[in-house]
Amino acid sequence: MQKRTLGKSNLEVSALGLGCMGMSYAYGPAPDKQEMIQLLRMAVERGMTFFDTAESYGPYVNEELVGEALAPYRENVVIATKFGFHFGPNAERLGLSSKPEHIKHVVEGSLKRLRIETIDLYYQHRVDPEVPIEDVAGTVKELIEAGKVKHFGLSEAGAQTIRRAHAVQPLTAVQSEYSLWTRDPEAEALPTCEELGIGFVPFSPLGSGFLTGKIATTTTFDPSDIRTSYPRFAPEARQANQALVDLLGRIAEQKKATTAQIALAWLLAQKPWIVPIPGMRKLERLDENMGAAGVELTSDDLREIESAASKIKVQGSRLPDAILKMTGR
């Protein structure tokens, strides 16, 4: 697979990474662990080198899965994980915490679960309004100096927070939701990353599955699926947003590709330092998504997509209000 470098850093990764969250939780019942281990290893064998997890996915179990699966390939992969929440004795989420002492404590757990000595890319999962970002960046800087972390990142952070953090410890990557139906980063985050030489990692690049064209207004989700609480996945919103999927489908037909491949190829065409991390739980989805790196969208294709997309108003908030309040700080 083609490689990309995240911003001005020396961190080279595959052009597409793998978002591992759904392998353990969030999108209905978790799949079989051994099947997911096998899938992760197949991804490496096919040339994927960038894997994204977090202590909060589960919590903890996703890091354990990724650690076990990738242990035989440690020298050939880049593993990103995240800090920023604290949990109770029964692993219940109690809220945000990026206090320096907390970061120094939880990094040890992540290292152990991931079976590694150094975290390649360590993101603050959500900005903690109670802790100055300079303190967070300074703490990660100490972890880098101690050899426990190589690169620093932020997730769902606003432009000013990105600048303030970068001034203390240069950021390698910023991660936020970005796709043809979530274009918020284009206003401030992407220009800021470009100015400062920071890579950008879109999560949910397929709109949590909607942009694959495989979710209809009649599709039902398991009660444990987080999409049941997303306004954008309400049946009436799905019906309105189908126009975007239809647009991707038309381009896909021209390119002899799939709808999902066009959605990913569009992201790859935006900037050479953008590395999407779609989630996947099946081998056929892995092969399909990796195939997106070989789909070339010409400037005419991109203009056609932009022109048509500009006429489509996406319906529904991407997240529930309570979660949305934690983003863009």
* DSSP assignment of 125-145: SS--TTS-HHHHHHHHHHHHH
Closest CA to 109 of 60, 165, 168: 60
What whole-number distance in Å separates Cα of residue 262 and Cα of residue 18? Answer: 17
3-state secondary structure 142-173: HHHHCCCEEEEEEECCCHHHHHHHHHHCCEEE
What whole-number distance in Å separates Cα of residue 121 and Cα of residue 51? Answer: 10
Active site residue 57: yes
What whole-number distance in Å separates Cα of residue 170 and Cα of residue 274? Answer: 17
Of the candidates 57, 122, 123, 230, the residue annotated as catalytic is 57
Residues 98/64, Cβ–Cβ less than 8 Å: no
Q: Which two tokens stand for residue 207?
A: 């709109």
Which stretches of the chain are DSSP H helices? 33-45, 61-70, 100-114, 133-145, 159-168, 189-196, 235-255, 259-270, 283-291, 299-309, 321-324
What whole-number distance in Å separates Cα of residue 265 and Cα of residue 172? Answer: 22
The residues annotated with a catalytic role in the active site are 57
